[in-house]
Chains A and B, each alone.
Chain A
């Protein structure tokens, strides 16, 4: 466990997507092997295009299977490609590149090559895009060997983690919350129409924040205790961290003090931080925007069992196809109300709790 990245004086104030671009620019300036491609990236990453030229910022056709697998081939042959997707759901079209290519080639080589491929993809919902455009999928990704899965919750973490991804010489998937992507929200609202208001669902501290001018790499596998508390430990990543912080504020009114642990990377997982939190609070709620089965929440439960840490356990996660209609979507995603209810249920059922 480690402290939240603190931006020094003279920092930039950036949105999360701009923070990723900022770190990527730093990596591209430092290392000529780093380049980026994906659908519409010359428009989306126009500041990188204007600074590094068209040879290092490439538009792709809508051909996920080819441009993802090409990323594997490029990474095996000396480049550090940052392959971007609007949404991780679209990666499913070219999933073999991830599962059978990027996750395997370094291992197949017996360690003689590395696959420094970075997949940068938007994830998640809360803005009503339906069941093919709002998935998280990190549980699935994190189950693969030799795969790092990064899910930042703030601009500063996003910058630090992306810089690490570009330097590590390992296959890494960076999942950025679309809900915290200013450009995405601007298309759907903002300058396009003033008639929708995302402020109810967009957590301010995640959407915008200080980022150092010179980004320092943030280590993988080091969770952050965003808020401390003794009664219950809320464990999450990405937007879920902000839902947990909202829930923690609401829990105070019930005299329940909640700790919030931001894992930051689903793989590698900071097992020490999870076990420490569970041993201390004896009540653990995993808040996961990914599917319930076969994912992060079950992994945390297994960790506790394997290490004989006794804790009451609950998970607030996605249990069905994410609906389109806003009220149905809200109910299916792990909203703060569901987190509060799960935490209260754990604490009140437990006779050890006063």
Chain B
């Protein structure tokens, strides 16, 4: 049972996910999302391409960038947004926030510890095989998570036990605010192959491409022929999280320079410390990181998966989908925002967001 690609379904999912993330990043900027927020903007092609293959029996283990895949999986957007906005009327009663969302109705749960989605999916796959034959478990993780021991152990276990699990590696090239290439040996794909995982590769901006590659792995796992890894390239325009210092440097270089330079200049000039050569090297390392980010961001400006997905269907169909989704998600976001409007966020004045 391989799912045929339907451009309308894919575009609808991507638009819905983008709208929820846009609503949440706007709410973050407006101070309505307390704490951190890691948006899935840029990952819609990956999310939709994989999720379209899943049925109600399949399980999903997510990482810190989980709101978009949950929405794509069918979680009620208003309930999800209420949770992320810190209301106790949200999906998890205010216990989860955006990093630890759990929705048993769609058999999906997130874990904020990098790498944890892998072993969680392995466990879900053992349950799938025992209790729901023919179903699969899918783990979403980043390429940086592949440096986490527990994820490598999960790959090994998945192959050793021949489990129906698909690992989806969303490779955005950054480990928090460190370039992955600088702290990673070998390549994600070669590493996955070494475990004996069936490996497929796809470009995340091309949802049809992702869908085809994911379909082969999901089909294979469903049939009991073993686990796989889907390696997908993607870009995170908003950085690691809202407020990412590197993204701030790209968007407001002068403002950030005023904040950062005095401390750096003082450090370079300090009487004690290493010689000029080491200090210069240190400053060059920092400059190189920002320069590399600028290059990554410039190169990725034409890789928006939603914009590309729009080209796959007739203009009027795309417009109709956008109107419908905008009305639905816009209304849900409006209600969620109204529920927490005018509250004091922190301290003794914090209220339940239920007005």
Contacts and interface: CB of A to CB of B under 8 A. Distances in A.
Contacts of B260: 46
Interface string A322-340: 0111111110000111000
A57 B285 CA distance: 11
A29 B150 CA distance: 37
B29 A62 contact: no
B105 interface: no
Contacts of A133: 36, 99, 112
A335 B350 CA distance: 12
A62 B345 contact: no
Given A47-B267, A50-B279, A61-B147, A327 B352 contact: yes
B334 interface: no
Interface stretch (B131-139, B172-180, B300-308, B325-333): B172-180
A281 interface: no
A330 B348 contact: yes
Interface in B92-108: 94-97, 99-100
B235 to A, nearest CB: 19
A142 B147 CA distance: 29
A197 interface: yes
A128 B35 contact: yes
B286 A43 contact: yes
Interface stretch (A74-82, A103-111, A184-192, A299-307): A184-192
A40 interface: yes
B99 A65 contact: no
A62 B176 contact: yes
Interface in B107-140: 111-115
Nearest to A328: B94
A128 B85 CA distance: 11
Interface string B279-301: 10111011001000000000000
Contacts of A192: 242-243, 248
B35 A52 contact: no
A53 interface: yes
Contacts of B196: none
Contacts of B242: 192-193
B259 A201 contact: no
A28 B88 CA distance: 47
B286 A128 contact: no
A54 to B, nearest CB: 5
A50 B283 contact: yes
Interface of B: 28-32, 34-36, 83, 86-88, 90, 94-97, 99-100, 111-115, 144-145, 147-150, 175-178, 180, 182-184, 241-246, 248, 255-256, 259-260, 263-264, 266-268, 270, 272-274, 277-279, 281-283, 285-286, 289, 343-353
B91 to A, nearest CB: 11
Given A40-B178, A51-B268, A29 B286 contact: no
B94 A323 contact: yes
A219 interface: no
B273 to A, nearest CB: 4
B350 A29 contact: no
Given A90-B113, A197-B346, A324-B35, A50 B282 contact: yes
Given A49-B286, A128-B346, A187-B243, A324 B94 contact: yes
A25 B343 CA distance: 42
A130 B99 contact: yes
B243 A327 contact: no
Contacts of B259: 191
Contacts of A62: 114-115, 144-145, 147-148, 175-176
Contact of A57 (B34, B246, B255, B282): B282
Contacts of A335: 348
Given A50-B282, A193-B29, A40 B96 contact: no
Contacts of B255: 191
A282 interface: no
Contact of B182 (A46, A59, A132, A324): A59
Contact of B278 (A39, A53, A191): A53
B149 A65 contact: yes
A48 interface: yes
B346 A328 contact: no
Contacts of A336: 348
A146 interface: no
Contacts of B32: 195
A87 to B, nearest CB: 10
Given A133-B112, A200-B347, A326-B34, A43 B245 contact: yes
A346 B330 CA distance: 52
Interface string A165-209: 000000000000000000000111101110111101100000000
Contacts of A52: 273-274, 278-279, 282
B345 A197 contact: yes
Nearest to B283: A50
